[in-house]
Structure formats: structure tokens, C-alpha cells
Amino acid sequence: MLEEKVAAFLRSVSDIVWGPPMLVLLVGTGIYLTIRLRALQIRGLWYSLWLALVKRKEQDQAEGDITHFQALMTALAATVGTGNIAGVATAIAAGGPGALFWMWITGLFGMATKYSEAVLAVKYRQVDRFGTMSGGPMYYLSKGLGCPWLGALFAFFASISAFGIGNIVQSNSVADSLSFVLPSVKPWMTGAVMAFATGLVLLGGIKSIARTASVLVPVMIVFYAAGAIVVLAAKISELPAALALVCRGAFTGTAAVGGFAGAAVREAIRWGVARGVFSNESGLGSSPIAAAAAQTKNPVSQALVSMTQTFIDTIVVCSFTGLVIVTTGLWKSGYNGAELTSRAFSAGLPGNWGGWIVSLGLVLFAYSTILGWSYYGEKSLEYLLGERAVRPYRVAFTLFVFVGAVIHKLELVWGFADVMNGLMAVPNLIGLIGLAGIVVSETAKYYPHRG
């Protein structure tokens, strides 16, 4: 059948796009920027967390649409998603516990990438016809690097990804999850409610998205983390051995145990890096679009806040998922994806609480991803077609939330969106490498005056 041939073709293209060269380029860019910035993500971590979570906004009046905190929550809304639940489980099932270690490494270097993206996004942003900020890779590729065609290429890939990875597959995941837990809830019901809730938020633009994200994201992360902490507390005696297994497995591989087929070091690295990048999106160029909307006078202050996104997403949330799976011993059970995470949580919690936590987490994470990516897609399409495209885009994006919930075969959508998602990184990484000197210069100007 034609559909099967197209799906096979997209899978082969996706394997190329997300193959070793791309992963090496993504992590390599993070290492390069870490060296140029003298490990700023380590030196400035506590200060950046203070800026993000305690100070939250600049005291003086500054240009922008939303506060530091709201920009961070909007970006986290898009990145803390199904990858933090199902993606981590897939990485550990395929690459062994050592995959979690390589996710940490990806997150560590990804913080430098995320910081650099935000510096450039704020520096080269501009005000659109509606009086709101517009920024991101398309603008720093055009205005900073002097390559408008690369900016247009990024915007094209991002606008398509928003409808796939950021919309249809998310609403479909929610519909499937709710139908499994509550069989009486039909996919069309879930789609209708989600479309209504999405449209209600999108009508207000970035300020409405940011306000919603600022409430939803902290609640969903704390809720999920609390469940994980209860499980880890119940398995506290297993935690030291689990951490040792993660570190040992990263360099020695994991021997076959029970139903687990074993994993070489290569597999641990491959899956850890791939799922780490997919989870935190460092280098893809999506989150700096939200950073550009922040109320700030200095690109570096928002960049410091933005890099905490990768820390929270990968070092914190992904770690909770991974450690629950490893401490409960279910990483070698033969289960995979969200089912593995659900069973691991259930192993440490009474009744069916584990299943409910994971299911509700999936719902909240997926919905927040829809809201975050709606803004990314909107700004990308605005760059390509102008401000007149914004309102029709919001209507279409809302309708596709319903479509995603009710369609059954998503293989073509997944494949195409996955390719577009990966291709976003190519022009963005070119921009980051080419404009690294600007990032270093802005950083040097800011730090002597930090108060």
C-alpha cells in the first residue's frame, strides 16, 4: 500500500536525520559553547535558579510581553511532555540504566546551548504590528548571521512541527491514555474538551498562554515529582545501588538479566543522548522563541533563566522517572514506554495510584506541550507570512487538537513531524556556531555588573 511505503520512507529519512551525525552535532555544539563560556551553566546555576524561581522578573520597566518566570514556564510547557514519561522509559529499556547517565550529560551541555539560544533570541528580537515581541532562530539567523533564507527554512520546519509533534500526536496521546483508564470517555469527547480549552487560551495570545503555563507547569511538575519521591522513599534502600548501576552501566554496558536482552555502552550512549535531546530540545531552536517575549533589558539575564529549563526538564524530571524505573527493578521486565513507567510507579505505590499519577501526568504534560508549541508555530508562521496569518493559524491549530484525538493511524504524522522536528536543528546549530562570539561578548558585558 502507498501509505505503508510512505511511512517506511519517512522512517528511513528520520533515521538519517536523527542519526549519529545529528546527535554528535547537537552535543558537540553544547560542548563547544560550554568551552567558550567557561562552563557558565555550572558557575551560574544557583544564580540562574534564583533569577528564575525567586526573583522571577526584573524590577525596572523593560521591553517585553511576559516576565522571566512566565517565559520559562511557557518553554517548560512545551518541553516537559510525554518524553519525560515515555521517552525516558524507552531509553532505559533499550540502552539499560546507563542511558540515564548520558541523558544527564546531554542535559549538562544542553544548558550551554539553551543559554546561547536565548541570548541571541533576545538580542535580535523585534516588535511586530500587534506590539508584541517576535524573536527566535529565524531572526538571529537573518539579522545576526545575515542569512534570511536559513531563517525562513527554520520557520518552515518549525511551523510544520508545531502541528505534528506539538499538536496532533499530543492530543492523540491524551485520548488514548484517558480511554485506557476511563473506557467510558471516548476520544471525540477528549478532543472536544481539549480543543475548547486550547482555543480559550490561544485567543489571548502569548500573555494568556504564559499565565496558563505559569499555573499549570509548576502544579504538574510538583504533582509528578511528589509521586516519584514517595516511590523512591519506599525503595530508599535500593537507591544507592540504582545510582551505582546507572553510572556503571554508562561505561560498561549492562549484562543480560531476566527478560532483558542486554545493552552495550554504544546503546546506552545512543539512547541516552537521543532521548535527552528529544526531551529538553536544546539545540532545536524552539524555546528561544518564548525567551524572546520576556520583559528584560539584557539578553543574558533571560538566558540565565532559560538555561534552567534544561536543568529542570532533564536533570530533575527525567531523573525522577529514570530512578523510579531502576530502583523498582522493572527496567529488565520487558515492558517499554509509558507502560513501563506506569508499572514502576505502581510497584512503589498502593492500589492503582501509580497508574493514575502517570496517566494524569501524561494528560497535563501533553496539554501543556500543545500550548507551548502553539506559540512556537504561530511565531514561525508569522515570520513567513506576516501578522495576517496569526488569527487563521490559531483557529486551525485549535481544530487540529480535535482531529488528533480522533484519528487512529498516526504513523505518517509521527514520521513527517519527526523529520521536520530534527531538520529544525540544522539551521539553528549553524547560527549558534556562527554567532558564538556574540554570545561570549554579551556574557562578558553582563557579568561585571551583576548585582
pLDDT over 90, % of the chain:
54
Range with the lowest mean pLDDT among 31-35, 55-59, 248-252, 386-390?
55-59
Q: Who has greater pLDDT, 396 or 450?
A: 396
For the segment 256-282, what is each residue's pLDDT rounded down to a tens digit? 443 344 457 778 888 888 888 878 889
**Residue 254 confidence class, pLDDT cut points 50, 70, 90:** low
Is it the case that residue 434 has pLDDT exceeding 80?
yes
pLDDT in tens, 161-188: 899 888 988 888 888 777 777 788 888 9
- The whole-number pLDDT of residue 245 equals 93
Name the more confident of 410 and 307.
307
Q: Which residues contact 402 (CB under 8 A, 6 or more apart)?
A: 171, 188, 191, 192, 194, 195
Give whole-number Cα distances, 336 to 95, 224, 413, 420, in Å: 12, 19, 22, 25
Q: Mean pLDDT of all residues in the chain?
A: 88
* Residue closest to 306 by CA, chosen among 34, 87, 122, 432: 122
Residue 422, pLDDT score: 85
Q: Is 44 helix (H, G, I), strand (E, B) or coil?
A: coil
Mean pLDDT, residues 15-28: 86
Q: When comparing pLDDT for 278 and 116, which is higher?
A: 116
Q: Cα separation of 345 and 293, whole Å?
A: 37
pLDDT band at 435 (very low <50, low <70, confident <90, very high): very high
Mean pLDDT for 331-349 is: 86
**The pLDDT of residue 195:** 95
> Is the pLDDT score of 106 beyond 90?
yes
Average pLDDT over residues 297-322: 94
Provide the greatest CA pair distance for the chain. Answer: 64
Mean pLDDT confidence for 413-423: 80
Give the mean pLDDT of 283-312.
93
Mean pLDDT in residue range 439-448: 88
For the segment 48-61, the average pLDDT, to the nearest whole number, is 81
Any alpha helices (H) in 37-147, and if so which ranges?
40-43, 45-50, 68-79, 82, 88-95, 98-123, 137-139
Domain 2-442 in CATH 1.10.4160: yes
At residue 259, the pLDDT reads 39
Lowest mean pLDDT among 200-204, 338-342, 406-410: 406-410
Model confidence at 419, pLDDT cuts 50, 70, 90, reads confident
Q: What is the structure's pLDDT at 43?
A: 92
Reported as a pLDDT band with limits 50, 70 and 90, residue 60 is low
**What is the reported pLDDT for 154?**
96
Residue 46, pLDDT > 50, answer yes
Query: Over 50: is that where the pLDDT of 66 sits?
Result: yes
Residue range 362-408, pLDDT digits in tens: 888 889 999 999 999 999 999 999 989 999 999 999 999 999 888 87
What is residue 448's predicted lDDT score, i.e. its pLDDT?
59
Residues 6+ apart with CB under 8 A from 211: 70, 204
The three cell numbers locating residue 28: 558537540
Question: Mind giving me the DSSP string for 319-382?
Answer: HHHHHHHHHTTGGGSS--HHHHHHHHHHHHSSTTHHHHHHHHHHHHHHHHHHHHHHHHHHHHHH
Q: How far apart are the first and last CA of the chain?
A: 64
Tens of pLDDT along 311-324? 999 999 999 999 99
Q: Which of 376, 338, 323, 296 lies closest to 77, judged by CA?
A: 376
Query: 346 with 355: CB under 8 angstroms?
Result: yes
Mean pLDDT for 107-128 is 95
Looking at residue 365, its pLDDT comes to: 87
Domain ranges of the chain: 2-442
Tell me: pLDDT of 100 over 70: yes
